[in-house]
Amino acid sequence: MTYASLQADHLPVPSGVILPSHVLEMVARVDPSLAAHQFRVALLAGGVAKELELSPEESTLALQGGMVHDVGKMAEGVAAVMELPRKLTSDEDAVARLHPNFGATILTRLGIQRGIVDVAQMHHEHLDGSGYPDGLSGEDIPRYVQCVTAADIFAALTEWNRYYRRPSPANTAFGEMFAMGSRGELDPQIVAALSRFVVRRSPDVSQSTIERAMRRIPDESDIRAGFKNGWNYLIAQFTTSVNSVSSSRN
């Protein structure tokens, strides 16, 4: 799928008004795995924002930005590289690292609000300036974007759809993320808030409860079912899954 598939006249929305959830739905029609990843990140980022007591506006930007943060991976050229079933070469990685710029361009042309565009553009930036594509640092990276960054890293470390490596247990993933905090790449307060959010929904993290829950919900079939039942269906399914897996450990 290329950018043309995300043009406004291809989106099933009324009156030409395009929301992040509409973009996510269109992504899911072509790449359910990417849509599922973005939905997981949205749930986690929104939860972290609320955990940190960010303003309602910032919490909404974290949630909605998470829904579309990786849409640039569908750009022509980037999509072909992202589908390779192995670890990328340095040249291929350089192409993949263009996806924040492509994502920001796609969302801007679709008329998505600036704060959400910033999530797509900045979600790989690190506080110490070591991220990409622009090497931003410190206060140049909005806090709601940092919530999405942390959620994205956690999801990437624990998901099962990565061809080139096995997923990490949640406690191992948090260990890596707290190390990133110690090095100044991430805000340790945001990592701690994410861990609290995850643990509260899955007390038995050390026994892989949250990994199993996130592995199951939402998946491709759940994303497709969401078209018929609405996005609240997906949220209910995720919550039900976490609760049922947690109960099975008791």
Q: Report the interhelical angle of 56-68 vs 114-122 (nearest 10°).
A: 60
pLDDT at 216: 41
Question: Which is nearest to 209 in space by CA: 185, 167, 243?
Answer: 243
pLDDT at 202: 57
pLDDT at 2: 45
pLDDT at 20: 81
pLDDT at 159: 76
Q: The whole model's pTM is what?
A: 0.78
Q: What residues contact residue 92 under an 8 Å CB cut-off, 6+ apart?
A: 81, 84
* CA–CA dist 104, 120 (Å, integer): 5
Which residues of the chain register pLDDT less than 50?
A: 1-15, 203-220, 222-250
Question: Which is nearest to 217 in space by CA: 235, 199, 191?
Answer: 235
Query: Domains of the chain by range and CATH?
Result: 3-235 (1.10.3210.10)
pLDDT at 114: 94
* CA–CA dist 145, 142 (Å, integer): 5
**In contact, 42 and 63? CB cutoff 8 Å:** yes
pLDDT at 171: 83
pLDDT at 21: 76
pLDDT at 191: 95
In angstroms, how far is CA 89 from the centroid of its own chain? 23
pLDDT at 198: 85
DSSP H helices in the chain: 20-30, 32-51, 56-68, 78-82, 90-96, 99-109, 114-122, 143-158, 170-182, 188-201, 209-216, 220-229, 231-248
**In contact, 119 and 108? CB cutoff 8 Å:** no
